[in-house]
């Protein structure tokens, strides 16, 4: 069960991503959503004498705390302040490699741009009529600038091409690398022999435009962080033995007796040996109502103990725990989705060999016709240069960047470079229930029907518990009765005295009430008949409109939930969803995704919980709300930053437009080659023509991509 983000989220400053150093503790704060949340975290932790510094990142929903205290004790402090917090493994979340690659690529792009401008200035002088010694001087200066700059800036293409050739295959970087080398080689030869034409400007211009596409592609991919790593990081790093000793989780073995305090997460799979409590299993099962647990009941890593201390005997630890099994399932699903072949790669599979064949045919034709090796090499190089895939290299990244910007303004953050391509293929949409179609937080219904004394007594009793239903009761307006001798009975409810009369609120079996259908707690004042207090989970804004819109477009809509059958069926009827399943565990949701894929369906999965993570990773494309668990957001291709679900409908429309723009860009690149290749093959392509043609095709592709923002 997750909390909805408030409207201030979009405008709230997020701050830089926390970077861990020695002595830092990283905490996950899944339900913070605005500036006041940040202030609450900082205030609660700064009050501790052992905390030196606190930095909160709203986007990542994390806090970096500089302290000598344990992560567990810090999390307990925040839980005591009403802020849900989990310890995270810093080592599992490092993004330093991706940041370094982005900085290096940006540096190469800057060098290429600077060198291109200078070489172009020299080339203008040559094109304007500079001859003999002046021309040769300008060519030598161009060589001094372009050769080292091209070798440095083209390093990513050379490395990729060499790796592909060593593996006995072709990729788009092979003709790029060959074109750069041939352009520089023939240009240097021509300069040495006082030739009229050199391709130094074309070589560095080629690097510049291709690096733009490579950088845009990297930025799109860098947002996608492995959900399996997130799940591993969510594992509790330490556990407390029943003796009170806190030890690293690695020292816990099967059969060890552990103490799990209220508000803490289960560090292992196990069996309760002593104690009674209620467990929040919503992250694993999606079930909104906390579940009672007592001696002999099974518990699983990742579940949250709500009300009473539990002694647990470990039955599975480390790699054998349910949390790790789920992480393995997610990693397998992510690997399967990674096999999607992007449109650019499909084009490269045809393009790369075609370019080499054309260049080879041009070389052979001219060597046979004239016997002039120098002329044949120049024309072969011209063919490679003018057909080099600048436009193709920009075709996808330019559209993706433009579409991602429009979607972000509409309330969707695109994390995967191929998400739009896959989203355009969707014919089936699968929704989770709790926290996705619904708000994920209980709300009292029929409160006004309660007697005023009963309502005030319920609010007074609710003050003694952090149970989600008690929190919902406390949120209602009205007077609060003064209750004495307040006591919480773990796993059952709360009781006390009101004006000398015993009062109790909790489960039907404990109160002795007749259970009613749906989510409810029960209140008894004295010996009076217990009264049910009913709750409902509010619909998320835009849920009904989105389902109707999708069905009107002919898409198949399903709901897969871990919640109970009555709750799922009631919501399915309310929203008009004909296909709905309840009581599904995470692996069962993932298997439903696999079954749908086996039927040929292209599935969009929308979910928010830990129990949705494997399904999100297994789906053809996936979306998670910003209020979702960090692992669910990491597993998804897009993050919904808007409170309403309606941007999902707009994303499907924009994805279709983006795919059409990409196809149009491929067509533009193809037409450009159809026109330019004959010129190059006939020996009519001068360096000026090559430079203008490359620049013109690249700019056309970018301008066409920008049409998607209208």
Catalytic residue numbers? 432
The two structure tokens encoding residue 96: 């330093």
Dihedral sign from CA coordinates of 165, 166, 171, 177: negative
Q: Considering only CA atoms, which of 29, 292, 340, 352 is closest in space to residue 170?
A: 352
> Cα-Cα-Cα-Cα dihedral of 279, 283, 288, 293, to 10°?
-20
**Sequence-separated (6 or more) residues with CB below 8 Å from residue 88:** 26, 27, 28, 62, 71, 233, 234
**Sequence-separated (6 or more) residues with CB below 8 Å from residue 69:** 25, 48, 50, 51
DSSP state at residue 290:
-
By the 8 A CB rule, do 1 and 471 touch?
no
The two structure tokens encoding residue 73: 């004790």
Tokens 């399915």: give the residue: 572
**Sequence-separated (6 or more) residues with CB below 8 Å from residue 350:** none
Which backbone phi and psi does 453 adopt, to 5 degrees?
-65, -40
The CB-based long-range contact list for 542-547 (8 Å cut-off, 24+ gap) reads 542/644, 542/645, 542/646, 543/437, 543/438, 543/575, 543/645, 544/574, 544/575, 545/645, 545/646, 546/645, 546/646, 546/648, 546/649, 547/431, 547/575, 547/576, 547/577
What is the spatial distance between Cα 329 and Cα 585, in angstroms, rounded to a whole number? 12
Dihedral sign from CA coordinates of 47, 48, 52, 53: negative
By the 8 A CB rule, do 34 and 9 touch?
yes
Residues paired with 63 in a beta bridge:
27, 56
CA distances from 466 to 35, 341, 463 (A): 23, 49, 8
What is the spatial distance between Cα 547 and Cα 541, in angstroms, rounded to a whole number? 12
What is the spatial distance between Cα 605 and Cα 622, in angstroms, rounded to a whole number? 5
The two structure tokens encoding residue 651: 């994303």
By the 8 A CB rule, do 122 and 263 touch?
no
Q: Is 491 left (phi over 0), alpha (psi -120 to 50) or beta?
A: left
Q: What is the DSSP string of 299-331?
A: E-TT-EE-SS-EEEEEEE-GGGSHHHHHHHHHH
Which backbone phi and psi does 515 adopt, to 5 degrees?
-60, 145
> Cα-Cα-Cα-Cα dihedral of 29, 32, 37, 40, to 10°?
-20
Q: From start to end of 294-449, where are the E strands?
A: 298-299, 304-305, 310-316, 412-414, 428-431, 438-445
**Sequence-separated (6 or more) residues with CB below 8 Å from residue 62:** 18, 26, 27, 28, 29, 56, 88, 630
């Amino acid at each position: 069960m997750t909390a909805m983000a408030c409207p201030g989220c979009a405008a709230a400053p997020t701050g830089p991503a926390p970077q861990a150093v020695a002595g830092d503790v990283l905490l996950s704060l899944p339900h913070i959503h605005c500036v006041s949340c940040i202030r609450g975290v900082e205030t609660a932790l700064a009050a501790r004498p052992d905390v030196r510094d606190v930095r909160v990142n709203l986007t990542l929903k994390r806090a970096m705390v500089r302290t000598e205290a344990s992560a567990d004790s810090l999390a307990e402090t925040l839980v005591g302040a009403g802020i849900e917090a989990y310890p995270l493994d810093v080592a599992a979340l490092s993004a330093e490699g991706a940041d370094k690659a982005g900085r290096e690529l940006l540096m190469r792009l800057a060098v290429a741009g600077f060198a291109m401008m200078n070489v172009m200035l020299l080339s203008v002088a040559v094109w304007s009529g500079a001859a003999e010694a002046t021309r040769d001087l300008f060519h030598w200066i161009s060589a001094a600038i372009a050769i080292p700059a091209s070798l440095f800036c083209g390093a990513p293409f050379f490395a990729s091409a060499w790796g592909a050739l060593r593996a006995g295959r072709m990729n788009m970087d092979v003709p790029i690398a060959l074109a750069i080398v041939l352009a520089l080689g023939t240009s240097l030869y021509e300069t040495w022999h006082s030739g009229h034409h050199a391709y130094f400007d074309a070589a560095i211009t080629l690097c510049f435009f291709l690096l733009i596409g490579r950088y845009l592609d990297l930025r799109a991919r860098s947002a996608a962080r492995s959900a399996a790593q997130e799940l591993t990081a969510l594992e509790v790093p330490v556990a407390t033995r029943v003796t009170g000793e806190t030890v690293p989780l690695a020292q816990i073995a099967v059969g060890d007796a552990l103490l799990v305090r209220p508000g803490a997460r289960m560090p292992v799979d196990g069996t309760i040996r002593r104690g009674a409590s209620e467990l929040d299993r919503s992250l694993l099962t999606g079930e909104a109502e906390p579940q009672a647990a007592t001696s002999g009941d099974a518990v699983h890593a990742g579940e949250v103990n709500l009300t009473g201390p539990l002694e647990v005997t470990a039955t599975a630890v480390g790699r054998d725990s349910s949390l790790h099994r789920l992480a393995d399932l997610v990693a397998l699903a992510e690997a399967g989705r990674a096999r999607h072949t992007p449109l650019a790669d499909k084009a490269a599979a045809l393009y790369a060999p075609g370019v080499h064949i054309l260049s080879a045919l041009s070389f052979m034709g001219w060597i046979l016709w004239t016997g002039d090796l120098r002329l044949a090499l120049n024309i072969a190089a011209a063919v490679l240069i003018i057909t080099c895939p600048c436009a193709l290299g920009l075709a996808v990244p330019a559209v993706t960047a433009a579409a991602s910007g429009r979607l972000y303004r509409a309330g969707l953050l695109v994390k995967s470079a191929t998400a739009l391509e896959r989203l355009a293929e969707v014919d089936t949409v699968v929704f989770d229930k709790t926290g996705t179609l619904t708000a994920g937080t209980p709300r009292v219904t029929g409160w006004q029907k309660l007697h005023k004394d009963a309502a005030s007594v319920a609010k007074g009793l609710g003050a003694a518990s952090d149970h989600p239903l008690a929190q919902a009761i406390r949120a209602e307006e009205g007077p609060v009765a003064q209750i004495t001798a307040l006591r919480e009975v773990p796993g059952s409810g709360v009781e006390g005295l009101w004006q000398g009369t015993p009062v109790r609120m909790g489960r039907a079996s404990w109160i002795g009430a007749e259970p009613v259908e749906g989510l409810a707690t029960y209140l008894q004042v004295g010996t009076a008949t217990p009264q049910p207090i009913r709750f409902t989970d509010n619909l998320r804004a835009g849920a009904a409109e989105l389902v109707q819109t999708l069905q009107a477009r002919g898409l198949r809509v399903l709901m897969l939930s871990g919640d109970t059958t009555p709750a799922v069926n009631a919501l399915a009827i309310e929203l008009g969803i004909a296909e709905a399943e309840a009581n599904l565990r995470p692996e069962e949701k993932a298997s439903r995704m696999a079954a749908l894929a086996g039927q040929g369906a292209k599935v969009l999965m929308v979910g928010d919980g830990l129990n949705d993570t494997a399904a999100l990773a297994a789906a053809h494309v996936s979306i998670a709300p910003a209020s979702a668990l960090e692992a669910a957001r990491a597993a998804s291709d897009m993050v919904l930053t808007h409170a309403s679900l309606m941007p999902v409908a707009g994303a499907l429309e924009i994805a279709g437009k983006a795919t059409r723009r990409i196809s149009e860009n491929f067509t533009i690149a193809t037409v450009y080659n159809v026109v330019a290749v004959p010129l190059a093959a006939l020996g009519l392509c001068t360096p000026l023509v090559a430079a203008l043609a490359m620049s013109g095709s690249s700019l056309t592709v970018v301008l066409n991509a920008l049409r998607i923002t209208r």
